[in-house]
Amino acid sequence: MSNVATDSSQLAQFVREAAATAGLAIAPEDFADVVTQFAVLARAAVPLMKFSLPEDVVAAAVFVPDDVSQR
């Protein structure tokens, strides 16, 4: 997705595809608002995505909560 923060048609398509992939239904009357909010998130992510990490950085462990039903 190139320059998603400024290309609204690409952004709307991405939101449609991401929602479908996640199994989320977005009501037609809410779709424009979802795209608008996603555009805000995409713009906020630009500086983060430009920050490069060294190759030797180890990814954080995945948090798995205890199963409290077993206590």
pLDDT digits (tens, 9 = 90+) for 13-43: 999 999 999 999 999 999 999 999 999 999 9
Question: What pTM does this model have?
Answer: 0.64
Q: Which phi-psi region, left, alpha or beta, contains residue 27 (left: φ > 0; alpha: ψ -120 to 50)? A: beta
Average pLDDT over residues 6-18: 89
Q: Which phi-psi region, left, alpha or beta, contains residue 6 (left: φ > 0; alpha: ψ -120 to 50)? A: alpha
Is the per-residue pLDDT at 2 higher than 60? no
